[in-house]
Every structure is written in C-alpha cells, then in structure tokens.
C-alpha cells in the first residue's frame, strides 16, 4: 500500500497518454520538486513508457521505430519531481479515496493500493466494436503501443511467409476515420519501401481494403478532403468500401450487411470510440453512452469533485457548440494545460479544493497525413495541402505538433537533442523496419 505524506495533498494521475503525462510533468515541476513541496504527484500507467498516440499507425506499419520515440516514465518522473507507479487501473474506492492497480509487467500481477486526495483519470479510449460478433476473437486493434507492435509482428510474419513469391497478403481495415485512412496509406508506403530489399513484386501481392459504414472517409474533414483521400488511396490500389456495415468477423474476413464479404487474413478494427471498460466499475459516477465519465466545465466528474477526468475518457460538452469535445490529442493537450495551470496554482497556494475556472475548447484544426503520398490540414475553416505538395505541408504540420509535445515533456535542450538524434538516425537506418 502506498500513501502520500499526511502533511500535503496527494494528486494521483492514472494514464500516461498525452493528457496524463503532461499534467504530471507540469504539476511535478511546479509543486513537486520545489523546496518544501506543496503537493505529492504520482503518475500510474500500465506501460513503462509514453508514446504519442497519433504515431501508433507508423509503429504498426514499421515506418517508425517506437524505441526512438518513447519517453521512459521512471526517467521523466525523476527529472520532473513526480513519482511513477507501474500498474493498470483495477478499481477506485471513492469512499476511502484509494485506487487499486495491477502491475502487469511483474510476475503474478501483484496489486498496489494508492491513497489520493485528488484523482485525475486520463486512461484514454479504445476502438468500439459495438458488440459485432467475431471482432474480439479475430481482429487486431492499435489503441496502444503493445497492440501496434503486435500488429507489426503479424505483418512481418506474414510477409516472411510470402518470400516464396507465390502468396498474397490480404489486409482489411474497418474504420474510415483518420486512424484507418492513415494506417492504410502507411502500410502501402511500408510495402513499397520493403520492395527495395529483395522483393520487387511485393507491392503487387498486397490486397488492402478499407471499410467505412458512413457515406465517406474522414467525416470530420471537409467533403473535398474526403474525396481527395479516397482518390489517393484508390490510386494506390486500396479497395474503398463506403456505406458498408460489418455484421460479423471470422478467420477468413468480414461479412457485410448487404450480404457481401471482404476477405482478409489480417483484420484491423479502427472504428468507433469508447472508454475503457474499467471505468464502468466505479460506482456512482455518471457516464455517457460510450462509457466516458461525465465532467463539468471544471473537468471534475459531475458526482465526485475529488475525481477529475481528461482526454478521451472524459465526456464534456463544448459550451460554445453544445457538441461533445472531440476525442483527439489536441483536446487532451488543451485540457492538460488548463488543469495543470490552474490546479498547480491552487496547490502552490495550499488550496487544493479551490474552484477551477471552466475549460473552453478551441478548435485549432486537424491534420491527416497519407504517408508520403498526400496530406491535408485544416485551420478552422481553411485548408492547406493536397496533391500538388504531395503531403509535404500536412506531414510537416504533423511533425511539428509532435515536436511541440516532445519539447514540452523533455524541455528545450533535451527536446532539441532528441529531434537532432532522430534526424541523424533517419540518415543511417533503413526507412522501414527490417526486424
């Protein structure tokens, strides 16, 4: 059992994604490592390292190496004045103000209890299979690094089996949002790169399908971007199925509502968003239809002011539009900055329970990058990128967003060093994973 010192409040943050690690780092710097620290800060996560979620599709395809991009939680905690506790969330005892964690990396999954004064839940989200038969048994997801690495191993295993020059690899992706579209393009890019290493016929032996139940790809983007993305993918040989609802998955592929089938040996589910199932076990908290915890404008859960929720697992309505704040890295980053700034100020003043000002989401646009083939970005109602630039502007914007996140976590000297080392590594390493 782990407890904070009785003479100072203990802030426990569960989930080391974009929101969780940014809050822990900022609070640790502000109130955790000063002389006479005004608060204790603990970050818990099932993994031992952090990666930027918008890069997961590149790790899955093998066009980026996660070991070059990971931030080690123990090292980050030591440098920034907070404590890291490995463990996946098992339960929350609201009456006793304790969280129970299971240490998955350890043998026999020992459990740890941590007392909290304030609990920040930032456990992210998962793809939502909507109870579709066969999906859990036959489909892969890429919601975290371990799943992205598992997908990459499966692709590699099947590609090695194709070295006889006679087999085909059939991959089908369900979900025409940014994750599905970017993964499809990244896989095509990876196969093209691999063809230079002794398998020139490899691109012609990939059968890749993208299935979307809606009328178009990328519904969050303007319609002309959807059309251009579909045209780019179709030109790369990707079979686009829009208006196609999957009714079941099996070992051989997907069954569709119209009676058709999409054959696939390797199946990926990248559709829908829901909160992790563990949140349903927290008694008494209000949740939305997709399982997100309902929070007020101050990011506190509606029925327990000692518990806050951020990022994809938080259900928050934008007061300006009345629509839910989107489950994106941009929204998680904004919420993390807001909470760290104002909660840090309250903790430094010795008033951990003081009111927090309302959070206001600011839509700053979105970026989708189709590997080196094409890309688009939106800035409010404006768009940039497209076929003429071959995705240069979108990839640059995407990279700058990641570098901004990296600089915020590591600090400017370490962040710039990591940036330079990454560029040097690109000069000496293969452009696609060969191991």
Angstrom CA distances, 330 to 167, 239, 266, 361, 363, stand at 41, 30, 31, 9, 8
155/245 same-domain check: yes
135-157 per-position pLDDT tens digit: 999 999 999 999 999 999 999 99
CATH classification of the domain holding 147: 3.50.50.60
b/e string for 174-198 if b means 16 or more Cβ within 10 A? bbbbbbbbbbbbbbbbbbbbbbeee
> What local confidence, expressed as pLDDT, does residue 38 receive?
81
Domain membership flag for residue 96: yes
Angstrom CA distances, 165 to 66, 183, 204, 427, stand at 30, 25, 11, 30
Q: Looking at the predicted structure, is the pLDDT value of residue 159 above 50? A: yes
137/264 same-domain check: yes
C-alpha 21/C-alpha 124 separation (Å) is 12
C-alpha 212/C-alpha 217 separation (Å) is 7
Asked if 264 and 254 count as a contact pair (C-beta separation under 8 A), the reply is: yes
> What local confidence, expressed as pLDDT, does residue 387 receive?
40
Q: How many domains does the chain have?
A: 3
134/260 same-domain check: yes
Which of 70-84, 363-377, 420-434 shows the highest mean pLDDT?
A: 70-84
241/222 same-domain check: yes
* The pairing of beta strand 40-45 with beta strand 10-14: parallel
Q: Looking at the predicted structure, is the pLDDT value of residue 3 above 80? A: no
Residue 244: pLDDT band by 50, 70, 90 thresholds?
very high
Asked if 386 and 363 count as a contact pair (C-beta separation under 8 A), the reply is: no
155/114 same-domain check: no
Q: Looking at the predicted structure, is the pLDDT value of residue 6 above 80? A: no
229/341 same-domain check: no
Of 81, 128, 422, the residue nearest 274 (C-alpha)? 128
> What local confidence, expressed as pLDDT, does residue 161 receive?
85
Question: Of the given ranges (96-105, 265-274, 361-370, 413-422), which has the lowest mean pLDDT?
Answer: 361-370
C-alpha 212/C-alpha 270 separation (Å) is 10
Of 85, 75, 10, the residue nearest 46 (C-alpha)? 85
Domain membership flag for residue 435: no
The three-state (H, E, C) secondary structure of the chain, written as one string: CECCCCCCCEEEEECCCHHHHHHHHHHHHHHHCCCCCCCEEEEEECCCEECCHHHHHHHHHCCCCHHHHCEEHHHHHHHHCCEEEECEEEEEECCCCEEEEECCCCCCCCEEEEECCEEEECCCCECCCCCCCCHHHHCECCCCHHHHHHHHHHHHHHHHHHHHCCCCEEEEEECCCHHHHHHHHHHHHHHHHHCCCCCCCHHHHEEEEEEECCCCCCCCCCHHHHHHHHHHHHHCCCEEEECCCEEEEECCEEEECCCCEEECCEEEECCCCECCHHHHHCCCCCECCCCCEEECCCCEECCEEEEEECHHHEECECCCCCCECCCCHHHHHHHHHHHHHHHHHHHHCCCCCCCCCCCCCCCCCEEEEECCCEEEEEECCEEEECHHHCCHHHHHHHHHHHHHHHHHHHCHHHHHHHHHHHHHHHHHCCCCCCC
18/33 same-domain check: yes
> What local confidence, expressed as pLDDT, does residue 283 receive?
92
143/178 same-domain check: yes
Domain membership flag for residue 279: yes
Residue range of the domain that includes 110: 10-126+274-348
> What local confidence, expressed as pLDDT, does residue 4 receive?
52
Domain membership flag for residue 221: yes
- Which of 215, 242, 272 lies at the terminal end of a domain, its last residue? 272
Q: Is 0.85 surpassed by the pTM of this model?
A: yes
Domain membership flag for residue 92: yes
Angstrom CA distances, 295 to 41, 121, 432, stand at 22, 11, 42
Rg, Å, the chain Cα set:
22
212/142 same-domain check: yes
348-403 per-position pLDDT tens digit: 888 988 999 999 998 887 888 888 888 887 766 545 554 443 456 666 777 888 88
103/159 same-domain check: no
Domain membership flag for residue 358: no
- Which of 348, 381, 412 lies at the terminal end of a domain, its last residue? 348
Residues making up the chain, counted from first to last: 435
Can you read off the two tokens belonging to residue 44? 């818990």
CA 288, 295, 124, 174 torsion-angle sign: positive
Of 433, 399, 431, 434, the residue nearest 418 (C-alpha)? 399
C-alpha 83/C-alpha 69 separation (Å) is 21
Domain membership flag for residue 353: no
24 vs 106: which has the higher pLDDT: 24
Of 51, 262, 279, the residue nearest 139 (C-alpha)? 262
CA 85, 89, 93, 94 torsion-angle sign: positive
Domain membership flag for residue 354: no
Asked if 139 and 268 count as a contact pair (C-beta separation under 8 A), the reply is: yes
49/120 same-domain check: yes
115/239 same-domain check: no
- Which of 250, 272, 294 lies at the terminal end of a domain, its last residue? 272
């Amino acid at each position: 059992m782990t407890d904070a010192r009785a003479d100072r409040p203990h802030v426990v943050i569960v989930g080391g994604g974009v929101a969780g690690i940014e809050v822990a780092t900022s609070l640790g710097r502000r109130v955790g490592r000063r002389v006479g620290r005004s608060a204790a800060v603990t970050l818990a996560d099932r993994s031992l390292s952090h990666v930027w979620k918008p890069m997961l599709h590149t790790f899955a395809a093998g066009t980026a190496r996660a070991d070059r991009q990971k931030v080690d939680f123990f090292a980050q905690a030591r440098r920034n004045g907070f404590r890291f506790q490995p463990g996946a969330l098992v339960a929350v005892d609201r009456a006793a103000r304790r969280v129970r964690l299971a240490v998955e990396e350890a043998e026999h999954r020992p459990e740890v209890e941590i007392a909290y004064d304030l609990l920040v839940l930032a456990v992210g989200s998962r793809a939502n299979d909507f109870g579709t038969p066969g999906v859990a048994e036959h489909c892969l997801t890429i919601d975290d690094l371990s799943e992205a690495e598992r997908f990459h191993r499966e692709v590699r295993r099947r590609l090695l089996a194709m070295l006889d020059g006679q087999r085909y690899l059939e991959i089908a992706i369900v979900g025409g949002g940014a994750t599905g579209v970017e993964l499809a393009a990244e896989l095509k890019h990876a196969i093209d790169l691999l063809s230079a290493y002794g398998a020139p016929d490899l691109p012609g032996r990939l059968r890749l399908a993208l299935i979307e139940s809606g009328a178009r790809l990328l519904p969050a983007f303007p319609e002309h971007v959807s059309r251009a993305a579909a045209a780019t993918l179709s030109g790369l040989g990707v079979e686009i199925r829009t208006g196609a609802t999957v009714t079941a998955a099996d070992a051989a592929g997907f069954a569709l509502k119209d009676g058709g089938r999409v054959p696939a040996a390797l199946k990926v589910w990248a559709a829908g968003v829901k909160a992790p199932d563990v949140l349903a076990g927290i008694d008494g908290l209000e949740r939305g239809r997709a399982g997100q915890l309902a929070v007020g404008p101050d990011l506190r859960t509606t029925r327990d002011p000692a518990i806050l929720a951020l990022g994809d697992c938080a259900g928050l309505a934008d007061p300006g539009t009345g629509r839910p704040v989107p489950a994106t890295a941009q929204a998680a980053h904004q919420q993390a900055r807001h909470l760290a700034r104002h909660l840090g100020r309250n903790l430094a003043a010795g008033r951990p329970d003081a009111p927090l000002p309302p959070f206001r989401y600011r839509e700053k646009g979105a970026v989708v990058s189709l590997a080196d083939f094409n890309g688009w970005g939106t800035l409010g109602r404006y768009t940039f990128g497209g076929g003429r630039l071959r995705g240069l502007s979108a990839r640059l914007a995407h990279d700058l967003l990641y570098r901004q996140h990296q600089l915020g976590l590591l600090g400017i000297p370490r962040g710039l060093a990591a940036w330079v080392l990454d560029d040097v590594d690109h000069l000496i390493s293969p452009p696609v994973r060969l191991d």
